Each structure stands twice: as structure tokens, then as C-alpha cells.
Amino acid sequence: MTATAHLDWDRRRRIGISEAIWGEHKTAEQIAAILESFYNRGEPALVTRVDAAKAAAVAALLPGHALQWHDQARCLSSVPIALEAIDAAAPVTILSGGTSDLPVAKEAQLALAFQGIAASLMVDVGVAGLHRLLERLPLLRSAQVLIACAGMEGALPTVLAGLVPQPVIGVPVSVGYGVSTGGRAALDGMLASCAPGLTVVNIDNGYGAAMAALRILSSSVERVVADRSEK
């Protein structure tokens, strides 16, 4: 198999984020060829938006590779990634408005784990039952960055950003009735938020939210190191 993609092997050194593979609109053969290129260079790989059938087809094309398909996150990795028993004191906490938002939240959690960053997951804290969020606010204090995934009207990130001081990254999810379908209502609501400093990524873009969190964490670490070196 020959990969036709022009891969960005310098990305990790340049910006601290390794390249991920968008799998939804690639064939199994294209994904397998790209994974083989990663393998030949000794680089781990993460493929996003892969369903069960395509994951099985890729695995059949690469019988010598220990691929792992993550069903909830809809991702395929070339190395094992464990998400169990994440410490509540992880630097990132990912919140979902409901269980329907879980695939996007899981994609964000997996993408961070692939980059070596632990993220805890807080599920079903949507603002339709605001008490569920309020009673868990103390658990959020140790997190440095929060990622909030929400469909319907997408109010969770706005409410959260008005209650806590940490950076909040909103992820609109394509879940909901009528005008909410497709996630546009949630996206527009988050973009129109009155909560100052709320960051918003595109619809269902759990991976993008994870990389935004990684950039925030990386800049914080670099600033601390620089401050210490100046003293």
C-alpha cells in the first residue's frame, strides 16, 4: 500500500501536537496506507471518525498491527489507550450535557489521552436540571481547563463559564429536535454567549476542543518554566 497523503511529520516538534487522521471520508485502504507510513517511522497514530465496519476493514488490511478501535469515541489508534480510572484531579475535565453528547466528549478525552494528558469525564450535567451541575462544582476546582459538550440549545458552556474561573471550551453537539438538529442552534447560542472569555469550537469537534485545551496547558507550563528561569 502506498499513502497518497502528504503527512506533516514536523508538527509535533513545531507546535507540540502530533498529526491526527480524519477517517470519516477516507477509505479503509487510504487509512491503512497512512497508518503504515506512521508505523514505518515509529510514530503512533490516531484516526478520528471511524465506525465499526471501517475499523474492521482497516484491521484486516494491517494484520500485523495492534490497532485499537474505541467504539464510544469512534476512533482508531495504533497504540493502546486506556481511559479507565481517570483521576478526578486530572488537568482537564470534560462535561457533557447528556449521554447523547458522550461520543463527542469521549473523542475529546481520547484525543487528550493520546497526547499524554489525562482528562476526567462528568456526564449528564445539562442545565435542564441545573442542580446536577451546581452540586458538582466543587469537583471542578482542581481542573485547569474545562471542555463542555452540549446539544439542544447548547447552554451548558455559557452557564459553566459564568460560574468558574477556568478556561471553558464549548463544543456544540448535533443532538436535538427541530432547529436543534445538526447542532447549529447550539453553535449559534455558544457564539452569542454573554459569558466573557468562552471559547467555542465547531459542531461535534471533540478533537479540536482537546487540542485547544492542550495548547492552553502547554502555554501555562512554558510560562511557569520561563518565570522560574528568570528568578
| Residue 65 confidence (pLDDT) above 50 | yes
Instruction: Report residue 226's pLDDT band, with 50, 70 and 90 as the boundaries.
Output: very low
Domain boundaries, the chain: 11-77, 92-219
Rounded to whole angstroms, the Cα distance separating 120 from 109 reads 8
190 versus 179: which is more confidently predicted? 190
Please answer whether residues 95 and 161 qualify as being in contact, where contact means their C-beta atoms are separated by less than 8 angstroms. Answer: no
- Of the candidates 229, 187, 214, 221, which has an alpha carbon nearest to the alpha carbon of residue 20? 214
Per-residue pLDDT tens over the stretch 164-183 = 999 999 999 999 999 888 99
Q: Are strands 46-48 and 75-77 parallel, antiparallel or unpaired?
A: antiparallel
* 3.40.50.1970, 3.40.50.620, 3.40.190.10, 3.20.20.70: CATH of 92-219: 3.40.50.1970
Q: What is the pTM of this model?
A: 0.88
Average pLDDT over every residue of 4-12: 74
The percentage of residues in the chain with a pLDDT greater than 90, rounded to a whole number, is 71
| Residue 66 confidence (pLDDT) above 80 | yes
Average pLDDT over all residues of the chain: 89
The CA R_g of the chain, rounded to the nearest whole Å, is 18
Please answer whether residues 64 and 75 qualify as being in contact, where contact means their C-beta atoms are separated by less than 8 angstroms. Answer: no
